[in-house]
Structure 1
C-alpha cells in the first residue's frame, strides 16, 4: 500500500493550519477543535511519514526542513481542493469561498475598499478578507490570493497583471515654498529639503523629461519615511519637497494644501499591478476580481 493511501487528508489540513497560524493553540482556534486533537493529528502524520515536521519549544513552533518542503508542496493542492469544495452547491458562475486581498493603506482607502465592497455585493456567497499595510507581504506565506501594488515590481517569482498607470507629481506646501523658494528647474532640487519615501527602489534618484530632453537629479534627505500617508502629512506640514502619486495627492492639490512643482517636466509613469502567487491554478474569484478591478480603475 502506498504511503499516500495511509495518510489522512484531515491531518494535512491540520498541519497546514498549524503552519499558517504559527502554533497549535491558534490552529485549534481556527479549526474549532481542542488543542489536544491538533497535536494528535500532527503526531500521527509525523509517524506515518517517519520524520518530524515541527521543532517545538516552550515559546514557539517552527518547521523542520521536511515540514517546510511538505507545506510548500501541499499548500497549493489544499487550496485547490478547498476551492472545488467551496464551489459545490452554488450556481454556475457564482463565486464562493474567501478572496484574500492586500494593498497599501492609502490605496485601500482611495479605491480598493470601495471596489471590494461592490464586488462582494455582486457575489453574496463570497467572503472578502482585505488586509492593508505599507510593507510588501509574502503572498504565499500569508495565504494571500491577490495583492494590488503600485509602482515598480521587484519580485520576479510572482505573476502579475498590469491594470493601469498613474502619474507622479513633484509637490510641496505653500509654507515650505514661502520659506525655501520654488525650484525652477530639476537641478534646483539638490538644494532643497527632500523627504524620501524608502519604499521606492531609488528614492534619491529622479529622472525628469520634457519634450525629448531628460535630466537625472540626485537628492539628499535628512527625513525618511516608509509610508505614503506619512510622507503626505510631512509635506503638508512644510517638511520639504517630494513626489506623490496622482491619486493620493489630488485632494491636496485641489484644496491648495500642496502645490505641484515643475509642471512642464514629467516623471516616469508607474503601474498598478494585480500580483498573485506562482502556480498553475488561478481561482475563478481571483480572475474575475482582476477583470472587475481593471474596469473599475478606468476613468468614466
Structure 2
C-alpha cells in the first residue's frame, strides 16, 4: 500500500464519477474522456491503495465496501476543494468546466431551456448539462450544481433562493366533463376519476379553501403519472381530473384542451426555488448562471 504522499490524487475525480455513473462508459461521458483512461486510473488507484474498489459485472460496476467508504469520505472533501477553487475565480474570468442543472421536466422545457442556450453561447468554454425529471435528485451523489424545484422544500441542509410562486389549479378536459359532468363542490370529486401525480408526498389527499371554509378530500385513482408531461397527456386525453401548477397547465388551458374545475375553491400555493448543495462556497459558474437567469426572467438578459 502506498503512503499518502505517493498517491496520485488525479484519479479521485474519475473514481467519484464511476461510483455515481455506474459504468465506465457513463463515467467517461460525464468527464469528457475515454473509457480506457477511466479504467486505467481506477486500476492504478486500486493497486496503490491495495484494495478492490469495484465489483465489475457485464451490466454494472458496483463499489465494494472499501469503495463505498472511500466515496463517502472523499466526496465532500473533493466537492469542498472544487468549490474553494471555483470561488477564487474573479467575475471577469472566463467560465469553464461543467455546470450540471436539474429541474422538473416541464420547467426545464418551457423556462430553463432557452436561458441555458443563451448562457452557453456567452460562455463557450463551459459545458452545461440540463437534466429533467420530476424525481428529486440527490445533489451531492449525482454531482448536481444547481437544482430548480417547484413546491415545498423539506431538506434543511440545502441552501436555496426563491424565484417566485405558483398556484395549483384543478383541471380536466372539456371532453371528460361532458361525459361525466362537472363537480359542483370538492366532495363530489370522490365520485370522479382522479389522476394521481406520484412524485407528491400525498397525491390523493387535497385541502380546498373558499374564504374561511375548508374542505379536505380523499381521492381514489386508477390512473397515475410520474411526470408533469405524462400527467398533462392523461388529462388532455380525458383520463380524469387532477391538480397541476398553473405555470405547467398554462399552454393547455390557453388552447382549451384543459379547463379549470371548481375555480371558486383554492389550493395551497407553492414556491419556485433554486437549490444549491451544502457547502460554504458557491462556484463562480453557478453564481453567474443564477444572476443571468434572474435577469432573463425579468426580461433583461442583455444587461449581463
Fold match (TM-score > 0.5): yes
Residue-by-residue CA offset, 1:207-241 (whole Å, 9 max, x unaligned): 11122222111111111111211211221122211
Deviation of the 1:287 alpha carbon: 2.5
Deviation of the 1:283 alpha carbon: 1.0
1:217 maps to what in 2?
217
2:3 maps to what in 1?
3
**Superposition RMSD in Å:** 3.0
CA distance in 2, matches of 1:158, 1:252: 33
2:263 maps to what in 1?
263
Deviation of the 1:59 alpha carbon: 4.6
CA distance in 2, matches of 1:264, 1:254: 19
Deviation of the 1:14 alpha carbon: 3.5
1:149 maps to what in 2?
149
CA distance in 1, matches of 2:157, 2:76: 15
8 Å contact from structure 2 (residues 89, 284) kept in 1:
no
Go from structure 1 to structure 2 and tell me whether the alpha carbon gap of 1:107 and 1:66 turns closer, same or farther (over 3 Å shift).
same
Go from structure 1 to structure 2 and tell me whether the alpha carbon gap of 1:90 and 1:269 turns closer, same or farther (over 3 Å shift).
closer
TM-score, length of structure 2 as denominator length:
0.84
1:251 maps to what in 2?
251
Task: Determine helix, strand or coil for the equivalent of 2:232.
Answer: helix
2:179 maps to what in 1?
179
Aligned length: 298
CA distance in 2, matches of 1:71, 1:234: 41
CA distance in 1, matches of 2:159, 2:127: 23
Structure 1: tracts of 5 or more residues without a match: none
Structure 2: tracts of 5 or more residues without a match: none
CA distance in 1, matches of 2:241, 2:220: 11
2:45 maps to what in 1?
45
Question: Mean Cα displacement is larger for which, 121-130 or 237-246?
Answer: 121-130
2:74 maps to what in 1?
74
Go from structure 1 to structure 2 and tell me whether the alpha carbon gap of 1:20 and 1:240 turns closer, same or farther (over 3 Å shift).
closer
Deviation of the 1:113 alpha carbon: 0.6
- What does 1:1-300 correspond to in 2, within 5 Å? 3-24=3-24, 27=27, 30=31, 32=33, 35=36, 38-57=38-57, 59-79=59-79, 92-297=92-297
Deviation of the 1:93 alpha carbon: 4.7
Task: Determine helix, strand or coil for the equivalent of 1:222.
Answer: strand
